[in-house]
A and B are shown apart, each in its own frame.
Chain A
Amino acid sequence: MHPASFGYQAPGSLQEAFALLQEHGEDAKVLAGGHSLLPAMKLRLTQPEVLVDLRRIPGLDGIRVDNDTLVIGALTTHTEVGTSEDVRRLLPGLADTASVIGDLQVRNRGTMGGSVAHADPAADLPVTLTALDASFVLASAAGERIVTADDFFVDFFTTAVEPDEILTAIRIPLPSTPARTSYAKLPHPASGYVVVSAAAALTVDEAGACTGARVVLGGVAGTPHRATGAEAALTGQALTPEVMAAAAEQAADGIDPHADSYADEDYKRHMTVVYTRRAIEAAAARG
Chain B
Amino acid sequence: MEHSALPINVTVNGKAQAAEVEPRLLLVHFLRENLGLTGTHVGCDTSQCGACTVHVNGLAVKSCTMLAVQADGAEITTIEGMADGPVLHPVQTAFQEQHGLQCGYCTPGMVMTAAHLLETNPDPDDDAIKHALEGNLCRCTGYVNIVKAIRWAAEQMRGQHASS
Contacts and interface: CB of A to CB of B under 8 A. Distances in A.
Interface stretch (A103-111, A122-130, A173-181, A262-270): A103-111
Interface in A39-60: 39, 42, 49, 51, 53, 55
A106 B48 CA distance: 9
A17 B132 CA distance: 35
Interface residues of B, number: 34
Contact of A34 (B46, B70, B113, B134): B70
B24 A2 contact: yes
Given A3-B24, A49-B1, A39 B62 contact: no
B52 to A, nearest CB: 9
A254 interface: no
Contacts of A106: 47, 62, 135
B148 interface: no
Contact of B134 (A2, A31, A42, A103): A103
Interface string A82-110: 00000000000000000000111110110
Interface in B1-28: 1-3, 6, 22-26
Given A34-B70, A105-B50, A7 B65 contact: no
B67 interface: yes
A79 B56 CA distance: 14
Interface string B41-84: 00001110010010000011110011101101000000000000
B117 interface: yes
Nearest to A107: B135
Interface string A181-199: 0000000000010000000
A34 B131 CA distance: 22
B89 interface: no
Contacts of A104: 60, 113, 116-117, 131-135
A261 interface: no
Interface in B120-148: 131-136
B45 A8 contact: no
Nearest to B59: A108
A4 B6 CA distance: 16
Interface residues of A, number: 28
A39 B26 CA distance: 11
A105 B45 CA distance: 14
Question: Which of B1, B2, B65, B69: most chain A CB closer than 10 A?
Answer: B65
A2 B53 contact: no
A8 B60 CA distance: 24
Contacts of B1: 5, 49
Contacts of B2: 5
Interface string A1-39: 111111110100000000000000000000100110011
A79 B67 CA distance: 20
Contacts of A7: 3, 23
B47 A35 contact: yes
A105 B135 contact: yes
5 contacts: A2-B25, A10-B69, A34-B70, A49-B1, A55-B70
A-B pairs, top 5 by smallest CB distance, nearest first, are: A103-B135, A8-B23, A103-B134, A108-B59, A1-B45
Interface of B: 1-3, 6, 22-26, 29, 45-47, 50, 53, 59-62, 65-67, 69-70, 72, 113, 116-117, 131-136
